[in-house]
Structure 1
Amino acid sequence: MRENALWSLIVVFVPFSLVSIGGGPSIFAGIQHQSVEVYHWVSAREFVDLFAIARAAPGPGSMLVTLLGWKVAGWTGAIVATLALFVPSSLLCYGVTRMWNHYRGRHWHTALENGLAPIGAGLILAGVVAIFRIAGAGVPSWAIAGIAAVILLWRPKLNPLILLAGGAVAFAFWHGTVGY
C-alpha cells in the first residue's frame, strides 16, 4: 500500500511540475482537485489548513505538496512529493534557459513570452478561486481581494504588504462591526 501511495504522489506531482507556468500558485487548483476529490488524501478543510501552514511557513508556498506527501506517507511521502514537484521542472528550466537565452530578441521569442504571461495569470486566478471556494470565502473576502487586485493594477509598484495590512484592517472592521 505504501509503495502505491508513493507512486500516486509521483504520478500526480510530476505533471504539475511540468505545467506550473507562473509558479506554484498556478497549480494549486489542480493540486486541490487531485488531493481532495480524486485521491481523497485529505478533506477540503484539511487542504485549506495545509495551504495556510504552507503559506505561513518560510519558503515557497508550493511546500503545500510536501505537507500533502507527509499526510499521505509520512517523511518518505514528503520527500517523494517534494522531489516529484521540484526536480522535473528544475531540469526543464535548466535546459530551456540554456536555449532561451540563445534566441533572445527574435520575434517568435518575444511572441511566446507575451503569450505565456496571460496563461500564467489565468492559472494563478484559478488557484485563488479554488482556495476561496474551499475556505467558504464570503462576499467581503472576494471584495477585498478584488479591490487589492485593482489597486495593484493601478499602482504596480505599490508594496503588497500595504495591501495585506489594508485587507487585515478591513477584515477586522467587518468582523468587529458586522460579525458572522
Structure 2
Amino acid sequence: MLLDLFLHFLALSLLAIGGAITTAPEMHRYLVGDRGWLSDETFTQSIALAQAAPGPNILFVAVLGYQVAGLAGALAAMGGIMLPSTTLVLVATRWARAHQEDRGVRSFTLGLQPLTLGLIIATGWLLAAPYVQQPERRLPAIALVAVTLLLSLRTRLSVVWMVLLGGVVGAACMT
C-alpha cells in the first residue's frame, strides 16, 4: 500500500502544473474510486482541513496520506509528490533564469496560465460536488464556485483571501 501510494503521488508530481491541488481530481479517482481507501466525504474533509490550516497549500497531500495509512502514509504521499517536482523546479528555475528573455520561455509561461486555471476550476467543482448533491447546500456551493471563478478571472485577489472567504461561507452554511 505505501509503495503504491508513493509511486502514484510520484507520478502526479510531474502533472501538478499550478500546484498539487490541481491534481486533486486524479487523487480522488485513485484514492476513492480505484482503491477505495477513502470515502468521498473523507477526501473532501481532508482537503478542507488542510486548506484551512496555516502553512503551505500542499499540506492536503499529507492529510490524505495520513487518512490512508497513518504517519507512514503521510510521509509516502509527501515524499512522492515533492521529490520529482522539487528536483525539476530546481533545474528548470536555473535554466529559465538564464533564458528569461527568450520568446519561447515567455510564450510557454503565458500558455500555462489558462491550463492552470482550468485545473483549479475542476478541483473546485470536485470539492463542491458532494454539497451540490444535497438540495439545501446546492445553491451556496454553486455560488461559492462561481464567485471564486469570477474573482480569479476579474481580480488579482490572492488565493489566500479566496480560501478564507470559502471557509467563512462554508462555516456559515454548515450551521
TM class by shorter-chain length?
0.7 to 0.9
Distance 1:143 1:131, change over 3 A: same
1-structure distance, mates of 2:78, 2:140? 34
Distance 1:33 1:102, change over 3 A: same
1:21 is the counterpart of 2:9: no
1-structure distance, mates of 2:32, 2:46? 12
Residue matched to 1:122 = 118
Q: Is the 8 A contact 2:9 2:81 kept in 1?
A: yes
2-structure distance, mates of 1:82, 1:40? 20
Q: Is the 8 A contact 2:22 2:116 kept in 1?
A: yes
1-structure distance, mates of 2:159, 2:12? 30
1:54 is the counterpart of 2:50: yes
Residue matched to 1:145 = 145
Q: Is the 8 A contact 1:48 1:131 kept in 2?
A: yes
Return the structure number with greater relative CO, CA threshold 8 A, min gap 6. Answer: 1
TM superposition score normalised by structure 1: 0.81
1-structure distance, mates of 2:123, 2:166? 22
2-structure distance, mates of 1:141, 1:55? 17
Q: Is the 8 A contact 2:14 2:85 kept in 1?
A: yes
What are the within-5 Å matches in structure 2 for residues 154-169 of structure 1? 154-157=154-157, 161=161, 164-165=164-165, 168=168
1:113 is the counterpart of 2:109: yes
1-structure distance, mates of 2:69, 2:140? 37
What are the within-5 Å matches in structure 2 for residues 93-108 of structure 1? 93-108=89-104
> What is the letter of the counterpart of residue 43 of structure 2?
F
Instruction: Report the RMSD for the aligned CA atoms in angstroms.
Output: 2.8
Q: Is the 8 A contact 1:9 1:81 kept in 2?
A: yes
2-structure distance, mates of 1:142, 1:14? 32
1-structure distance, mates of 2:51, 2:75? 19
Name which one, 1 or 2, has greater alpha-carbon Rg: 1
- How many residue pairs match? The answer is 171
- TM-superposed deviation, 1:144: 3.4
1:67 is the counterpart of 2:63: yes
2-structure distance, mates of 1:157, 1:56? 18
Distance 1:34 1:159, change over 3 A: closer
Structure 1 portions without partners, runs of 5+: none
Report % sequence identity: 28
From 5, 10, 13, give the equivalent of 1:9: 5
1-structure distance, mates of 2:33, 2:75? 23
| Shift >6 Å, 4+ stretches | none
User: Residues 3-59 of structure 1, C-alpha deviation per residue, up to 9 Å, x if partnerless?
Assistant: xx1111112101111111011221111111111101111010111111121112222
